[in-house]
Amino acid sequence: MKNTILITGGTGFIGSHTAVELMQSGWRVIVLDNLCNSEPDVIERIAAIGASRPHFVAGDVRDAALLDQLFASHTITAVMHFAGLKSVGESWQQAAHYLDNNVGGTACLVAAMERAGVRRLVFSSSATVYGEPDTVPIAESAPLRTTNPYGRSKLLCEDMLRQLQAADPRWQVALLRYFNPVGAHASALIGEKPTGVPNNLMPYITQVAAGAHPYLRVFGNDYPTIDGTGVRDYIHVVDLAQGHLAALHYLLEEGRGITANLGTGSGVSVLQLVAAFTQATGVTIPLQILERRPGDVASCFAATEQAWEALRWRAQLSLQAMCADAWRWECSRAAAGASHG
């Protein structure tokens, strides 16, 4: 009997890629997703990658009865909790909804896990909990301060989970702080499906390359960085997925929790990413330099020592691969007639 992992938010961008890596490593996967930001055909696409098919349950992590039924029907070794709303801009307009969905959803999930005696959890946190960093690279010990309701929801979840482990050491939680996940599975069967016009840089670049927008708006070129544009730590989504397997093994082997950055440790500016995209794809990206975007920080990239020392995990895939895989996915969506916002 294969060991089983419950993935909440598993038809989403990062969850679907993690499901593939888990199943290719021999895990059985159950996906719970309310499909508020993804589509059910992702399950078929995961199966087509040859990773075998996850057991899919359409539902909400805030549905306690459904969760109890899931835990009663399956022997679940651990839970990976990706389900959440993730738009910084949207969170200003829907602060209460973000609290209910992200914080309430996590509390409901944890209570159901406790009832079922399942106490291994991998949680999707974000570098956004660091806010404007004092120094870069950013270590896990850096001060935590958030500047928007979305980031605050992540920090509140982290605080809940830290408190839970302090109160009951039977709980083992991996708090994984993702930096900037980009790219797609090399099969181009799964990838990022931003709803509407993308806020994030890479999907906007691929849509410009696909002709959906006339140019890329560069939000500021007067930051104290190598070329004045914002610097971030872009990490391939498949590397990120592998980081989850490493964290799961850590929980199983060490029997205790961990907080770890999942990033490459390399800072890349907007202009550098654009240049890398053109080098990887041959497609030129027209630019317009505009004012800074409110809330953006100048530079944000990960210290990676903890991830290596504790998880024996480090990102492997190059910026070139991130760009090429993101572009292949965009082209596959265009060929399938996907709309762009």
Question: What's the min distance (Å) between Cβ of 169 and ligand NAD?
Answer: 25
Partner interacting with residue 82 (select from ligand NAD, ligand WQD, none; CB below 5-8 Å by kind): ligand NAD
When binding is defined by CB under 6 A, the residue of 98, 171, 178, 313 that contacts ligand NAD is: 178
Residues in 165-194 that interact with ligand WQD by CB under 6 A: 180
Q: Could you say whether residue 205 binds ligand NAD (CB under 6 A)?
A: no
Give the amino acid at 328: R
Partner interacting with residue 324 (select from ligand WQD, ligand NAD, none; CB below 5-8 Å by kind): none
When binding is defined by CB under 6 A, the residue of 19, 38, 260, 329 that contacts ligand NAD is: 38
Pair 171, 255: CB distance under 8 Å: no
Q: Could you say whether residue 218 binds ligand WQD (CB under 6 A)?
A: yes
Q: Could you say whether residue 219 binds ligand WQD (CB under 6 A)?
A: yes
Measured at CB, which residue is nearest to ligand WQD? Answer: 230
Q: Give the containing element (helix H, strand E) for 116.
A: helix 105-116
Query: Which positions are annotated as active-site residues?
Result: 150
135-159 burial, b if ≥16 CB within 10 A, otherwise e? Answer: ebbbebebebebbbbbbbbbbbbbe
Pair 43, 67: CB distance under 8 Å: no
Partner interacting with residue 11 (select from ligand NAD, ligand WQD, none; CB below 5-8 Å by kind): ligand NAD
Residue 171 or residue 179: which is nearer to ligand NAD going by CB? 179
Distances in whole angstroms, Cα of residue 58 to Cα of each of 5, 31, 65: 16, 8, 13
283-322 burial, b if ≥16 CB within 10 A, otherwise e? Answer: eebebeeeeeeeeebbbbbbbbebbeebbebbbebebebb
Q: Could you say whether residue 198 binds ligand NAD (CB under 6 A)?
A: no
Task: Identify which of 28, 27, 92, 81 has the alpha carbon closest to the alpha carbon of residue 56.
Answer: 28
DSSP-derived secondary structure for 35-83: -SSS-THHHHHHIIIII--PEEEE--TT-HHHHHHHHHHS-EEEEEE--
Q: Could you say whether residue 201 binds ligand WQD (CB under 6 A)?
A: yes
Residue 175 or residue 285: which is nearer to ligand NAD going by CB? 175
Q: Could you say whether residue 209 binds ligand WQD (CB under 6 A)?
A: no
Question: What's the min distance (Å) between Cβ of 300 and ligand WQD?
Answer: 6
Residues in 74-113 that interact with ligand NAD by CB under 6 A: 82-86, 101, 105
Q: Return the number of other C-beta atoms located less than 10 Å from residue 194's C-beta.
A: 18
Residue 63 or residue 289: which is nearer to ligand NAD going by CB? 63
Residues in 107-126 that interact with ligand WQD by CB under 6 A: 126
Exposed, middle or buried: residue 42 (CB in 10 Å: 0-12, 13-18, 19+)? buried
Of 54-62, 207-215, 263-271, 323-331, the segment contacting ligand NAD by CB under 6 A is 54-62
The token pair that represents 127 in the structure block = 């570098």
The token pair that represents 187 in the structure block = 């099969």
Using CA of residue 233, residue 238, residue 242, residue 244, what is the dihedral sign?
Answer: positive
Q: Could you say whether residue 197 binds ligand NAD (CB under 6 A)?
A: no
Question: What's the min distance (Å) between Cβ of 153 and ligand NAD?
Answer: 8
Q: Return the number of other C-beta atoms located less than 10 Å from residue 277's C-beta.
A: 27
| Tokens 């082997």 found at | 253
Partner interacting with residue 327 (select from ligand WQD, ligand NAD, none; CB below 5-8 Å by kind): none
**Chain residues that interact with ligand NAD, rule: CB under 6 A:** 8-9, 11-15, 33-38, 60-62, 82-86, 101, 105, 124, 126, 178, 181
**Chain residues that interact with ligand WQD, rule: CB under 6 A:** 86, 88, 126, 128, 180, 199-201, 204, 217-219, 230, 232, 270, 293, 296
